[in-house]
Structure 1
Amino acid sequence: MTWNLHTTHVQDGDLVLLVGQRHKHYIITLKAGMEFQTHRGTLKHDDLIGLPWGTQIFSHNGNPFYIYSPSLADVLRDMPRNTQILYPKDIGFIFMTTGVGPGSTVLEAGTGSGAMTTALAYAVGELGKIYSYEVRKPMQKLAQKNLRRLGLAERVDFKMRDIEEGFDETDVDILFLDVQAPHDYIPQARAAIKPGGFFASLVPTSNQVQHLLMALNQSEFAFIEVAEIMLRHYKPQPARLRPTDRMIGHTGYLVFARRVEMSENPHAELPNNEQETGSNDD
């Protein structure tokens, strides 16, 4: 299987996105000689192989589909899961805030179904590395299966261990916690993050945010931020442009911080984490 984002034409073995009427979508792997059956008709894989991406095709009974290479958001939406996954709106903000990118070394605690792991592995590229910790074996197996399907498993070192014992890694660029009580593991997180590196966590309730903020301050993290991302879609109709009836609201609080190294100067103190609003110009 190949998740092929950089070619112009569909190839045998590609992971493809089929979009039908009312945006009904399917993600399948093409195999020569096979067929894909839906309630809107049958598509022969051989008829798709060799077509340019974006081509409109028709099932045996005349229903239209478009064939695309799936985006990261498409893949995460379609991913088999046993737990709630992060939304693309949150993942994108995490990446922008922490600088996750090609060559990054990222430590993740709470693999779950592997949605965030997939996004991280995609972002760090072939030169980066993800270390992902989980305590539930069935969840880890599901995550490994999901990443193998996308050809990303080699970028991830999966570990089965309680993070209360600490992490094997040190000097990682970014550490992401998606666990029930992240405030309990801040000393372990600090020991794993490189000086100046990033900490990030998704926290569901405001009470947990408060506990996490106190723990971060006690472990000499600074430049702390708390954010909540809302996403509203609009109906793409020029004459009647208006919001859709539903929006993606609260999915969790995002908490960010950076590891700092305090000076031995007796007057040294952590930066004030309260940010001023308005212009940054002095």
Structure 2
Amino acid sequence: MDRDNRERLLYRGLGIAGALLTVATSCYSFIQYQSLHASGGWGAVGLVFTPDGKRIIGAVSNYQSEYVTKKELWIWDAQTGKRLSQRPRTDDGSLTSLQFSPSGRYLLYRGSLYDTQKATPSFVLPDSGFQFVFSPDEKRILVRSSEVSVWDIASQKMLWQRRYPSKNLLETITLPKQGSLVLRYSDRSELWTTTSPKPQRFPRGHRFSGAGESLQRSQNQSEDRLLTVSRWGSAVKHEPIGRILDSRTGKTLVTLEGTTGW
């Protein structure tokens, strides 16, 4: 057989092998996809500890059909693995833009406030809010959008709302322990209280006693990770069944209730 014929046979064989490989890969993907949707189980796609290590927050999904995926946010007790609450969500699978209150009791996730200690209904804050800050006592939360509003967490009611002048540069917002609010502009500072209809004005560099943290964007962000280790030596893993592990030995300590996998 001459060289040209050998090359033609080689290329033909490679083409047939490539086609068979493509078919086999497609069949495997189809079978895997069908089994995923036929199982109807809940799989954890993102898990994270609360700052105190007592709760675990999880984004979970259930593939109900080829076109429908049910998504929820679950909260578990980290010691027992018992599911404390579950709420529907419409975002993607990742746990991004998480923000916890100072003690970790409250979780702010995509405009909804969750109590991680109880199975209480979520508190939905204004959709237009793009910055949030908790008071040090965790009784109030400040929301900044085109306006600044302060909400009482227990009653889920807005205490007051102010519009700030957009022509001035707003540098920081702080919430002192007394429950008042400082708006710091480029040329002055304003002290708002819940009882005063107008603010007290102070020079730009004035220092306020008992001031709380500066308002910042959410700092507690978590991407999808297979293993998240807490500072107490335990770890949380999704595969997609949620498990709490001993980070030293890898032994499963607790399986998170409801995560059956796909």
Same structural fold, with TM-score higher than 0.5 when normalized by the shorter chain: no
Q: Which has the higher helix share?
A: 1
Provide TM-score, normalisation by structure 2: 0.24
Provide TM-score, normalisation by structure 1: 0.23
Q: Which has the higher strand share?
A: 2
Specify the structure having the higher radius of gyration (Cα).
2
